[in-house]
Amino acid sequence: MIDEKGKSLGEISNTEALEIAKGRELDLVEVSPKTQPPVCRITDYGKLQYQRNKQERVSKTKQRKVETKGIRIGIRTDEHDIVFKKNQAEKFLKKGNKVKIEIRLRGREKAHQDLARESLNNFTKRIETPYRIDEDVKKFPQGFNIVIAPE
């Protein structure tokens, strides 16, 4: 049994504890029911709930939602553009976001799927920021994509 100031009152029966709590116009809250004997605290239950909710809200704001950013390249994408997109991907990874890299195939390019896979693998090899592959190379009707995430 713990009072509102945090001082231990020792082992007390339930009826005594309830009387003490009523006398102080507070509530009797079971803190840890699994211990033997169970630990109870005399406190204002509304205040306790408010503090728990406040702590939950603070921890929620500290959590950061991971976004998936997209980068789209083609088979015929020029060297300068590849370097630019690589830098973008590295920037996204450093911020903690996942990166979905798509290679789009149009028209007759769809016949060269091996080139598409190769250029996608070459692009991922250029990225210097440490990453792990979240989703391996997948084929979809317009081409291929891969999802990478920061380590």
Extract the tokens encoding 50: 């408010």
- List, in order, residues 6 or more apart from 128 with CB less than 8 Å away: 90
pLDDT band of residue 50 (cuts 50, 70, 90) is very high
pLDDT band of residue 82 (cuts 50, 70, 90) is very high
Angle formed by the axes of helices 113-126 and 79-94, to 10°?
50
Count the Cβ atoms, other than its own, within 10 Å of residue 119. 19
pLDDT tens-digit readout, 134-149: 889 999 888 999 999 9
Domain 14-61 maps to which CATH number in 3.30.930.10, 3.10.20.80, 3.40.50.720, 2.40.70.10?
Answer: 3.10.20.80
pLDDT tens-digit readout, 37-49: 889 999 899 998 9
- Judge whether 145 and 102 are in contact, CB under 8 Å: yes
Domain 68-150 maps to which CATH number in 3.30.110.10, 3.40.50.300, 3.40.640.10, 1.10.443.10?
Answer: 3.30.110.10
